[in-house]
Amino acid sequence: AATAPRVPAPRLALHHLDASYSLQLLGLWPGARAALLCQPKHGALLNNFAAPDHVAQELELLNAGDFVSEASKKAQRGAAEEESGAREEGSAKGRSRLPGASVSSNIRCYTFPRGDISRFRPARPDALGLLDYYLMDAASLLPVLALGVQPGDFVLDLCAAPGGKTLALLQTGLCGHLAANDISISRTKRLYQTLQSYVPREVRETVSVTSCDGRDWQQLEGSTFHKVLVDVPCTADRHSVTEVDNNIFHKRRTKERQMLPMLQLQLLMAGILAAKPGGEVMYSTCSLSSLQNECVVE
């Protein structure tokens, strides 16, 4: 062990994912594997507090499209077709709540078409110093969209840093109050920086930022929130197979990685207990692992 060459953490991560996901995903794994190893494509989340329409026009001239509005239109068409079919049958049985049907039109996120690997320019400040858009993995918006915040909702983002989802929640313009928490003080500082760079002071005053262990949230504010987002720490598959820094597959972090499902379960339970009776909780990860997703929820 002392003389054997050290295996870099990304290679160790890829070996682990190959062994587990080839069994879990079967024929889907080769495509997913290639996607994880490709350079990530970012989406540009428009900042409604700063970005005038000319920024959206600029992005459209680059052939980028707002995937949120496109998904919402598809969902509405599907709902109309389903309703029409139900009327023809004389019954509305089987009607489902379609994802995106109630998406807030305030959230706009631009992405380049499939196969286009163009990069967005860095965000620019407006006259008040607020940046015009936030670059993020567009898939990170999906939990926020699925949460379906309604006007006046009290919302908790239990694991909020570095702040992309918190910012997206504020873009809805619907939060009556938003609590953003993260256990890491250094990551909470990044959250503060994100809010200061994108959100005017009067809106920031409606956000309470804390840095405590999310598992203890019930002791602070139990049964309080209409909507709770629990975006838990996970193996972060793309990061793990491409980055050396802060890689959870480093051999020194083996025990921490093995304990992730238990931590995730505890955070999810805390999120459930933080919600009001009848409230909604969204659990999400950036991992394909069924142990960190379906098994935790079950």
Q: What are 194-211's pLDDT values in tens digits?
A: 999 999 999 999 999 999
Q: Name the pairing type of β-strands 109-111 and 42-46.
A: antiparallel
What residues are designated binding site for S-adenosyl-L-methionine? 159-165, 182, 213, 231
- Whole-angstrom CA distances from 128 to 50, 195, 199, 287 are 8, 14, 10, 38
Residues 156, 162, 168: CA angle, nearest 5 degrees: 55
Q: How confident is the model at residue 111 (pLDDT cuts 50, 70, 90)?
A: very high
Cα 72 to Cα 75, 100, 104, 116, 164, distances in angstroms: 5, 5, 9, 22, 21
pLDDT of residue 80: 73
The domain limits of the chain are 39-78+105-296
Average pLDDT over every residue of 156-174: 95
- Tokens 């970005």 found at: 51
Chain segment 59-93, per-residue pLDDT in tens: 999 999 999 988 878 777 776 777 777 666 655 44
Residue 52's pLDDT is what?
75
pLDDT at position 83: 73
pLDDT band per the 50, 70, 90 thresholds, residue 96:
very low
Percent share of the chain, pLDDT over 90: 78
Q: Are the beta carbons of 110 and 59 closer than 8 angstroms?
A: yes
Whether the CA torsion 48, 54, 56, 62 is positive or negative: it is: negative
**With 90 as the cut, is the pLDDT of residue 114 above it?**
no
The residue with greater pLDDT, 262 or 54, is: 262
- For residues 182 and 159, give the distance between their C-alpha atoms in angstroms, rounded to a whole number: 5
SS3 73: helix
Q: Which residues are annotated as a binding site?
A: 159-165, 182, 213, 231
Please report the pLDDT score of residue 87 as a whole number.
Answer: 64
Q: What is the pLDDT of residue 104?
A: 61
Tokens at residue 187, please? 């990551």
Rounded to whole angstroms, the Cα distance separating 229 from 10 reads 29
Q: Does domain 39-78+105-296 have CATH number 3.40.50.150?
A: yes
User: How large is the average pLDDT for residues 235-255?
Assistant: 94
What's the pLDDT score for residue 221?
A: 75
Q: How far apart are the first and last CA of the chain?
A: 39
Q: What is the pLDDT of residue 97?
A: 45
Structure confidence by residue, pLDDT tens digits, 138-150: 999 999 999 999 9
Asked if 237 and 287 touch (Cβ cutoff 8 Å), the reply is yes
Give catalytic residues, as residue numbers: 286
Per-residue model confidence (pLDDT) at position 92? 46
Average pLDDT over residues 129-157: 95
CA gap 157, 180 in Å, rounded: 5
